Amino acid sequence: MGGKQWAWSLVAAVPLMGLAVGAAQQNGSGSLPEGPGAQQSTSGSQASGQTSSTGDSGSQQSVPDAPSAGSGQGADNLRNLTRQVAPGKAPQTDQDQVQAPPAPQTNTPNPDGAPQQEAPYTPKTPDEAKQFVIRQNVTYIPVPVTVLDKNHHQVAGLTFRDFRIYENGQRQHIAYFSVDPVPLSVAFVIDQSMPKDTMKKVNQSLSAIQGAFTPQDEAAVFTYGNGVTEQTTFTSTQGDRLPTVLQRSQKEGTEMGGPQVGGPLGMQGPTINGKAVDPNVNGTARPGYDFNIPHETHTLSDAILAAGKELQTRPKERRRVIYVISDGKDMRSKATVREVIRFLQGNQETVYGTMVGDAATWGIGYLDRVHLPLIPQENVLPRYALATGGVLEAQFSAEGMERSFATIAKEIRTQYTLGFYSHLPTLDGRFRTLDVHVERPNLEVKARSGYYPTATTQ
């Protein structure tokens, strides 16, 4: 019994000595033999362990050597590894040596805080929507633009990149661009002081006005001769009222005057008992060669101003248009052309027109349109159209007048609309020039030449 107890004690002591040696190596307090015999013993133990682990397959696999604990540097590395690797904790890196990658560059600013999760409220009624209106004094300038090619046809397909707009010579940022059709508010101005033959053609063409416009458009009718008459305020272009008013606006026209061969206003003047009262009158003049030209009155500027004042009451979302059917003569109007143009430019109103009569005759109308020097300009329509950005058609026949109504209505509805915010002080009262350019060759741009800032532009 004694021998067996000693043997079991020796077997138990061997593993305890191995544990003690391992603990000493980890703590760095123990010592191992440093001679060749110790290294050989260590290698032999590793080889025997490897043989026992792979004895089933009969092949040997090389195992990398464990880190040596013989030097102080190896022990320090083991301690650092122990501090860095812990259960449930990722290894830490030195921030002085590792730099985070730069944030990606974007064209939009970084959001301030988390994205909005709550949807914005949508007003259900117009009165409720007024509570969300923010009012600020800004000067927004809409500029309708018509682009024509060399054949006087409208050019489509342009984008905002093709346009350049300048205010007082300074280029402006295009804040709004649209090619969508716009509802029209059209004030018709019809001349009733033209000769009979011209008025007959105009009367025949008036029935085609209604077909040139859409149900979204509205129209008012003004007539003039010796004074201005408002035939109707704004009404739907597709209603029953407009045709009735246009029928009522038809007049016969004026006579050109004829010879007066007798009576108190004849060539020989008043007589008493066959003798001339006025000795300066040539009683021997031949009858039929002297004419009594009637006193002409064409209050065109007064009519345009009256139409402009009525048009001023229409909403800004609609395109404000004054459509004139006339020969362009302006005589004895109380308002001057310059005053009316200033009013139109301040209220964003454009003058279009169909020139008839003498203005449509080759030569007479042409000289008025090109503004040759030293030529009297009885036709003032080109001045109104040029200042406000409108377009004029010259037609001599009734069929041509009907075509002009449809052509001009189409051009107005399909214009390009540019908008910008003026950099100039609000309501300074000074005229501001506008220049619109298209970055394509051989194109003509029709836009108003400038504007006067008013309260309606804010």
Could you tell me the maximum CA-CA distance found in the chain, to the nearest angstrom?
191
In this predicted structure, the answer to whether residue 219 has a pLDDT above a threshold of 90 is: yes
**Mean pLDDT for the stretch of residues 291-303:** 77
Amino acid of residue 319: R
3-state secondary structure of 441: coil
Smallest Cα–Cα separation from 79: which of 23, 28, 4, 45? Answer: 28
Token duo for residue 406: 């449809």
The pLDDT of residue 150: 87
Which residues are 407's β-sheet partners? none
Mean pLDDT in the chain?
74
**Mean pLDDT for the stretch of residues 108-119:** 54
Beta strands 170-171 and 444-446 are: unpaired
Q: Measure Cα distances from 83 to 27, 79, 80, 92, 449 in Å.
A: 14, 6, 5, 10, 81
Q: Measure Cα distances from 150 to 55, 268, 441, 445, 449 in Å.
A: 100, 57, 10, 11, 21
Residues in the chain: 458
Crossing angle for the helix pair 196-205 and 398-413, to the nearest 10 degrees? 50
**Mean pLDDT for the stretch of residues 38-47:** 42
* pLDDT, tens digit (0-9, with 9 covering 90-100), for 122-147: 667 767 766 655 555 567 888 999 99
Q: What are phi and psi of 381, to 5 degrees?
A: -60, -40
The pLDDT of residue 278: 61
Q: In terms of pLDDT, which residue wins out, 222 or 20? A: 222
Query: What stretch of H or E contains 353?
Result: strand 349-355
Q: Per DSSP, which regions of 173-248 are E strands?
A: 176-178, 184-191, 218-225, 227-236
Q: What are phi and psi of 53, to 5 degrees?
A: -75, -25
In this predicted structure, the answer to whether residue 394 has a pLDDT above a threshold of 60 is: yes
CATH number of 183-253+292-413: 3.40.50.410
Rg (CA), the chain: 49
* pLDDT, tens digit (0-9, with 9 covering 90-100), for 364-387: 544 444 444 544 467 899 999 999
Q: In terms of pLDDT, which residue wins out, 39 or 326? A: 326
**Mean pLDDT for the stretch of residues 405-434:** 86
The pLDDT of residue 294: 56
